[in-house]
Structure 1
Amino acid sequence: MKLVVQIRLLPTPLQAAALEATLHACNEAATWASGVAFEKDVKRNFALREHTYGEIRARWGLGAQAAQHIVKKTCDAYATLKANLKAGNLGRPGSKRYRRAAEKPIEFRPEGAQPYDDRMLSWQIDQRRISIWTTAGRVKGVAFTASPEQLATLALYRKGESDLLERDGMWFLNATCEVPEAPQNTDPVDFLGVDLGIVNIATTSDGEIMAGRELNRVRVRERGLRRKLQKKNTPSARRRLKKRRRKEARRAKDINHKIAKHVVAEAERTGRGIALEDLTGIRERVRLAKPQRATHSSWSFAQLGQFIIYKARRAGVPVVHVDPAYTSRTCAECGHTDKSNRVSQAWFACRNCGFVDHADRNGSRNIRARAWELWRRGAQSTTPDPPPEPGRGTGRKPSTTASGARCASPSP
């Protein structure tokens, strides 16, 4: 399976200036190629190359490999935009947001990521150095830092392209690695049910509650700070708001990684599979009071689910998705279903047999039981193949985020 390992570069000032000039030139050329693709309605790689390749090399003085990657990056960005428009991720056809994305060419940020192949980038992993092509020539001896686990993964499994990007004055390389998968456990002894919720992010059928009220206090505080900055609406407030938004996203991603890693490790250790709720379309189906909407929409449950799936796939742990209907109202002991069973957010009390338990733990036990029943009936693991690698529209401006950043599989 494909994973992406992100390492941080430590260039000298001269090396950083060469890298910055290279990114700016490549993304300026990509924006021009995007305009040609939009005007001529040519958005396939080889067709667009006929219209742009020579001009890119002549006008910006870029190498052959860089020019080809620029054309491909542009085509991938339009492919991603088309997929997002078709999926409704940019609003309904005819809406303002839809038209804003579809009726003008894609533009790339000056610091947007640029793909490199092995002809343009070479690694000295043992020395923690790289040699990289720039518009100023080959820059050798660029230092980088990484954890021992990342270095081992790079040394054993690095294969394919790497993306150079700049973020907040820091330089990174996202390196693609082909990591082997463990054989899937086709005979699990049981399933570990995982209930995803608003107050408690994840609760397992073993009774373990992860990331509960303490995290919610942080989320409430961050939401209050965000509201104040939005109200001020000054240039400095908008800059701070953007910085805090990125910080929140990093925190959520880190917590989701830790939860997913713990769940998969526990299932692997005990020889069990993992049972998850199928929450597709949950935001559209659930109706909430206004004070609950921000809390409900402020956590990346889909991201957590994807992290569990890809880590389980790597570990060979089967994953089964079950119908979440009435899991919070059904007694895990006697099976009685009643709305009044859910006494409060935290507690469950069965009106039939008197069973009392934490509401999220009761729900996770129901999820476990449904997954086990499906598995005994012959259901297969619903751990899918990794999604196709998205387009490289890494430089898309915030106002037209159809292509977005190049999504990379989370680091192991």
Structure 2
Amino acid sequence: MKLAVQVKLLPTPGQASALEATLRTCNEAASWVAEVAFTEEAYRNFDLRKHTYAELKGRWGLGAQAAQHVIKKTANAYATLRANLKAGNLGKPGSRRYRQAAGKPLVFRPYAGQPHDDRMLSWQIDRLTVSIWTTSGRLENVHFAAGAEHVAVLSRYRQGESDLLYRDGAWFLSATCEVPEAQPNNDPVDFLGVDLGIVNIATTSDGETMAGRRLNHLRGRDLKLRAKLQRKGTKSAKRRAQRRRRKEARRIRDVNHKIAKHIVAEAERTGRGIGLENLTGIRERVRLRKPQRAMVHTWAFAQLGNFIAYKARRSGVPVVYVDPAHTSRTCSRCGHIDKANRVSQARFACRSCGFVDHADRNGSRNIRARAQMLWRSGAQSPAPAVPHQRDGRTQTAHHSQ
């Protein structure tokens, strides 16, 4: 499976200036290529190369590999845009948002990520340094910092391109690694049901609860601060709001990584599989009061589920996705379904047999039972596709505009 391991670069001031000039030049060139693509209606890599390759090398001073990566990055960005338009993610055809997205060329941010292949970047992992191409020439002995686990993965499994990233005043390299998956456990002794929520981020069928009270307090505080900054509307306020948003995203990602790691380790230790709810489309399905909407719509349910899924694949732990319908209203002891069973957010009391339990723990046990039933019957699990994952605690980077 593919993982992207991120390391932090530690360039000298002179090296940082060269890296900054390189990113700016490559992204200005990519914006020019995007304009040519829009004007000529040539969005494929091969077609764009005929229109732009020579000028990228001559006018922009890019090397052959850098020019090809700029063209490829632009073609991929337009492919992503077309996919989003087709899926309706940018509004309906003819809507204002749709016209704004489709009616003008893409523009790349000055510090959007830039891919480097092995001809442009070489790793000296034993010395924790890299040699990297820039528009000012090749930089030697650029140091980087990484944990021991990431260094081991890089030295054994790194393949293909690495992305140069700049974020919040720091430089990063994101390297693609092809990590082998563990031998899958095709005969789990049981399943560990996991119920995902807001108040309690995750509750397992073993009765273990990962509470989110402190995290929700911080998210509420950040939400109020961002609203205040948005009302102010100055450039500095917008920059600060952007930094706060990224900080919150990193915090949530870190928590999700830790929870996923703990759940997978427990399932692997006990020889069990993992049962999860298929929460695809939950934001469109649920109806909430206005104060609840921000908390639900900003919580990364899909991210936590994806982290559990890809860590489980690495460990050989099977994951089964179940239909989430009525898991919170069904009695895990007698199977009685009633809306009134859910007395409150935290309390479950069955109207039929009188069974009383914590609502999230009861739900996780229903998920466990459904996962067992699906596995034993051989029915297909409605599992969403697990995307290409980024390992580490730093933010995922994109090549988009």
TM-score bucket (shorter structure) = over 0.9
Judging changes above 3 Å, is the alpha-carbon distance between structure 1 residues 337 and 385 closer, same or farther for their aligned structure 2 residues? closer
Report whether the alignment pairs 1:159 with 2:159.
yes
Judging changes above 3 Å, is the alpha-carbon distance between structure 1 residues 87 and 385 closer, same or farther for their aligned structure 2 residues? closer
Partner of 2:399: 394
Amino acid of the structure 1 residue aligned with 2:295: T
Amino acid of the structure 2 residue aligned with 1:136: S
Mapped contact 2:23–2:111 kept (Cα < 8 A): yes
How does 1:241-390 map onto structure 2 within 5 Å? 241-379=241-379, 386-387=386-387
Unaligned runs of 5+ in 2: 391-396
CA distance in 1, matches of 2:233, 2:399: 27
**CA deviations over 1:273-313 (Å, ceiling 9, x no partner):** 11111111111111111121112112010111111111111
Partner of 1:5: 5
Mapped contact 2:182–2:313 kept (Cα < 8 A): yes
Partner of 2:393: none
CA distance in 2, matches of 1:50, 1:318: 47
Report the CA distance between 1:384 and its aligned residue. Answer: 6.5
Judging changes above 3 Å, is the alpha-carbon distance between structure 1 residues 303 and 371 closer, same or farther for their aligned structure 2 residues? same
SS of 1:201 mapped into structure 2: strand
How much is the aligned-residue C-alpha RMSD, in angstroms? 1.7
CA distance in 2, matches of 1:25, 1:80: 23
Judging changes above 3 Å, is the alpha-carbon distance between structure 1 residues 75 and 213 closer, same or farther for their aligned structure 2 residues? same
Mapped contact 1:331–1:362 kept (Cα < 8 A): yes
How does 1:1-400 map onto structure 2 within 5 Å? 1-379=1-379, 386-387=386-387, 394-396=399-401
**CA deviations over 1:105-153 (Å, ceiling 9, x no partner):** 1111111111101111111100011111111111101111100001000
Mapped contact 2:4–2:177 kept (Cα < 8 A): yes
Partner of 1:405: none
SS of 1:71 mapped into structure 2: helix
Mapped contact 1:275–1:371 kept (Cα < 8 A): yes
SS of 1:20 mapped into structure 2: helix
Report the CA distance between 1:227 and its aligned residue. Answer: 2.4
**CA deviations over 1:173-222 (Å, ceiling 9, x no partner):** 00000000001111011111111112111111111111322222222222
Mapped contact 1:332–1:365 kept (Cα < 8 A): yes
Number of residues paired by the alignment?
A: 395
Identity of aligned residues (%): 71
SS of 1:171 mapped into structure 2: strand
Amino acid of the structure 1 residue aligned with 2:200: N
Report the CA distance between 1:100 and its aligned residue. Answer: 1.3
Report the CA distance between 1:99 and its aligned residue. Answer: 1.4
**CA deviations over 1:243-264 (Å, ceiling 9, x no partner):** 1111111111111111111111
Report the CA distance between 1:90 and its aligned residue. Answer: 1.4
SS of 1:118 mapped into structure 2: coil
Mapped contact 1:193–1:364 kept (Cα < 8 A): yes
CA distance in 2, matches of 1:254, 1:206: 23
Unaligned runs of 5+ in 1: 397-412
Report the CA distance between 1:382 and its aligned residue. Answer: 6.1
Mapped contact 1:336–1:352 kept (Cα < 8 A): yes
Judging changes above 3 Å, is the alpha-carbon distance between structure 1 residues 132 and 82 closer, same or farther for their aligned structure 2 residues? same
Q: TM-score, normalised by structure 2?
A: 0.95
CA distance in 1, matches of 2:84, 2:367: 32
Mapped contact 2:196–2:301 kept (Cα < 8 A): yes
Mapped contact 1:320–1:383 kept (Cα < 8 A): yes
Q: TM-score, normalised by structure 1?
A: 0.93
Task: Name which of structure 1's ranges 221-230 and 375-384 shifts more when overlaid on structure 2.
Answer: 375-384
